[in-house]
Amino acid sequence: MKKSDLLFGLVLVAIFLPFFVSEPLYEAYKSFNAQHGMLMSFFKFGILATLGEMLGARIGRKQYLPQAFGMLPKMIVWGILGMFINGAMIVFSNGIPVVLKTLGIHDAITAFQGSLSWTKVLVALSISVAMNTFFAPVFMTFHKITDMHIHNYGGSLKALMHPIPMGQLIAELDWKKQWGFVFKKTIPLFWYPAHTITFLLPGELRVLFAALLGVVLGVLLAIAAKR
């Protein structure tokens, strides 16, 4: 184990340990999260999803911060994307139960708001499938394009000060990998069940759990890069 691995582990412990050992801190977190959900989404995804990409870089390229990685611009981009993810979760978690009610599952709304049941699992799965089918591919593609844009500027914050050449980067994107692995495999095999669990959690924990899944995303992207 390298010193960088130990340091990375200590950072993770430092982030999460206080919430397990301090009840007042956890209550303060829940209160602030309830009042400032979007702001907290920015920080959760900005920190955790970036750490996930760093872990993926460690797996794929043997370094947490390889050349042109761009930790700071990635954190800002992930923070902004995290706010959109939070918005998507709100839209789909409120809209899909209504759709299911029109399809004959009349207790979809009350079951989703209630305790664990098979109907609640069905509703959570439906929300996950809808969000990951219609929102996730666009989100994943845009995230990949921002990664390419940051890399083209050597990982510098200057990348955020220049417009993204969308047409050029879309043409350069590896669509075979994007479709064959990212869309075709990770969405149905990982994201559908993972976000089903997300929507079974209490509302105040959903965005945090979704951000933690960003760590897993970094590992999945590292596997895709190796392949």
Domain boundaries, the chain: 1-35, 37-226
SS3 sequence, 47-91? HHHHHHHHHHHHHHHCCCCCCCCCHHHHHHHHHHHHHHHHHHHHH
For the stretch 56-91, pLDDT in tens is 888 878 888 888 899 999 999 999 999 999 999 999
The string of pLDDT tens digits covering residues 24-61 is 888 888 888 888 889 999 998 999 889 888 888 888 78
Q: Give residue-wise pLDDT tens across range 172-214.
A: 999 998 998 889 988 999 999 999 999 999 887 888 888 888 7
Angle ∠(72,74,80) on CA atoms, nearest 5:
110
Do 159 and 153 contact (CB within 8 A), yes or no?
A: yes
pLDDT (0 to 100) of residue 223: 66
Q: CA triplet 67, 75, 50: central angle to 5 degrees?
A: 70
